[in-house]
Structure 1
């Protein structure tokens, strides 16, 4: 490790892989799928106990109410777990925010529930990379940082609903991000150490189409086929794809018996705009398609949803933060690249608050959201050292303009 001062070497010396890995294995053994409220409550308890070793106050925050369209086209409230917040030195003039999530995409009845070693350095397991390894190394990095007379204040937010869009924690994220010097989010990095650069926005929608039922043989002309209207809407939305904007009609629910004109259909779709201008263009496109289909098929369409993840462009402040982090990584012998990605995360929401954010500070790994998910164990202590060093340099020097950006 070249380029480190003696003080920085002393800062990083206590970081060891074994306790970080042990926590990761323990936490990965707890199913905390977004819908498993009991598992999330257990996970929140483990996290609260672990992060209590840091100075400051740990609290569990109730989720904001969230409604979802059900198979009958009605809104119903969806339960979520509580979110963990740790506030350290809230009185500090300069503060940062570190975020992660305790939920995974694996439900309690999903067959992928156990960890297995693929080789000496590769761990296959649910949520190991995304992101229980990231949470564990974040804690190790913060603990190391606290040993060297820190003055930087910070908030840690670990939410319970990131995998479904952070709808019950969006306001909490926004409130905690305000006025922060920088943000670090612990989504997994790619196996080669690459970090996510710009991200598109994302919005999930449900279009509830209400038509009129009729007998399919006796008087079909009196019916208004909601399924046909929903299909027409799906085709019109899919035709709106352009450079920098993807629209994915994903599922149609509803219908009726074969001898009945269906009076209900629900089209679920996702759109991902690369820029704020494209997000506005997408909203206009959806509104126009809904109006046209409603008029043509004589149906009523109620649209539920919005762009909950704003696009995350790259600003000069974000480039400067990457310069600081990439220099720290190079000094630690962890060269990294920065590349645009099609995925979204809480970093989108933080960036929308005007705060520079790097959102792949977590463990290295891949095949996330699948039974092939894996984490590279040697990245746990490596990324913990990176966290401690970045916080130390932010504390001592702030974000230096003109730092290297590639």
Structure 2
């Protein structure tokens, strides 16, 4: 359907904000928010919450939940970063409750002397590079601006915006907050970057983490080799068994790495560990795969012994009828704005997996267009700031008025 008068006002307003959106992106990218940079995460969270408060939202800060200690890279002490949720309920009875979701963290090195530290705009002004410019500082820019545009046009939709700081490492600290928020809402919008052609992702696999720990018996290699039992050899055997579970045709992936074992070349190693990641197409396949991985485990009293830990915390995100209805609503808005939009799938996972596991229909690639994610070549198509901001604002306006 064609844009109505309110929607044309929204689109026209956002079209004048191109420089403002680029300035926001420059500011956001310049704040280092690697997971270990707590000061940067705190500053970014505070900045966004202040802007959302000016729109009439109330902000709740939720302490970090628990994270399995066996996960690779888990901190030895201390709490994880908190999650913030800003809520602005509409006074209109029956208004669709919309949950926006974004993550503050990036994978990039927060070192102030690192050369990839700020937004650099190309000479032609069409693209820019910078840490997190696509994943997902650009998404945070357009989500916040869309809410501000709705407010400025007097269209106070019923929304909440949840901001976590550990998506890139599995969202363990924020999982409880995400699941709780999902249960409060009717529609979920996540601002992960779009596919390169602007497509929306409607289907994602599930993901899980695992650890394999092998224990053996140490011995001096020269004097008493025969009495030793190599944990590294036992781990190698376990890893080979895990590799047999891969079935690309059915979407079952098992990847192992990193691997550690032993401490000196002249000592038979008594301890070795490997960590890994899995992908699976649906809930049943995830349950089957977890059973397969656990079948590698041996009794604790054996020597060598194999112990397995698993955490499949991101269920598969399937293209349910409700998800497809939401995606079609987004495509209709795109069409009315003169934008093309198709649907696709990806092997990646995100917080949309967790939100949808609670029954919330979610589209999770409303963010900007670009590429080079997680690399020093990460880049953004700057025109997508206006395009996707207008798409988000008008989609929210339609959902507010009439639902999916």
TM tier relative to shorter chain: over 0.9
The Cα of 1:356 is off from its aligned counterpart by 0.8
Check the 8 A contact 2:136/2:367 in 1, yes or no: yes
Note the alpha carbon deviations across 1:152-202, whole angstroms, 9 max, x for none.
422100110001010100000000001422100000112321121211111
The Cα of 1:304 is off from its aligned counterpart by 3.1
Please name the residue that 1:269 is paired with.
276
Count of matched residue positions in the alignment of Structure 1 and Structure 2: 395
Aligned partners of 2:105 and 2:13: how far apart in 1? Answer: 29
Residue 136 (str. 1) matches residue 141 (str. 2) = yes
Aligned partners of 1:66 and 1:90: how far apart in 2? Answer: 35
Q: 1:61 to 1:75 in 2, by over 3 A?
A: closer
The Cα of 1:148 is off from its aligned counterpart by 4.6
Note the alpha carbon deviations across 1:282-303, whole angstroms, 9 max, x for none.
11111112239x79x7233333
Note the alpha carbon deviations across 1:209-243, whole angstroms, 9 max, x for none.
22211122333232221111111111111111012
Check the 8 A contact 2:202/2:323 in 1, yes or no: no
Please name the residue that 1:66 is paired with.
67
Q: 1:225 to 1:285 in 2, by over 3 A?
A: same
Aligned partners of 2:149 and 2:32: how far apart in 1? Answer: 29
Please name the residue that 1:50 is paired with.
51
Aligned partners of 2:26 and 2:253: how far apart in 1? Answer: 37
Aligned partners of 2:270 and 2:391: how far apart in 1? Answer: 57
Q: 1:128 to 1:281 in 2, by over 3 A?
A: same
Please name the residue that 2:41 is paired with.
40
Residue 183 (str. 1) matches residue 188 (str. 2) = yes
Deviates more, 1:196-205 or 1:59-68: 59-68
The Cα of 1:43 is off from its aligned counterpart by 1.6
Residue 396 (str. 1) matches residue 398 (str. 2) = no
Deviates more, 1:319-328 or 1:18-27: 18-27
Q: What secondary structure is seen at the aligned counterpart in 1 of 2:328?
A: helix
Aligned partners of 2:229 and 2:79: how far apart in 1? Answer: 35
Please name the residue that 2:176 is paired with.
171
Unaligned runs of 5+ in 2: none
Please name the residue that 1:115 is paired with.
119
Check the 8 A contact 1:230/1:265 in 2, yes or no: yes
Please name the residue that 1:85 is paired with.
85
Please name the residue that 1:402 is paired with.
none
The Cα of 1:114 is off from its aligned counterpart by 2.2
With the length of structure 1 as denominator, give the TM-score of the two structures.
0.92
Note the alpha carbon deviations across 1:256-299, whole angstroms, 9 max, x for none.
3122110111111111111111101111111112239x79x723
Check the 8 A contact 1:32/1:40 in 2, yes or no: yes
With the length of structure 2 as denominator, give the TM-score of the two structures.
0.92
Please name the residue that 1:76 is paired with.
76
Please name the residue that 1:13 is paired with.
12
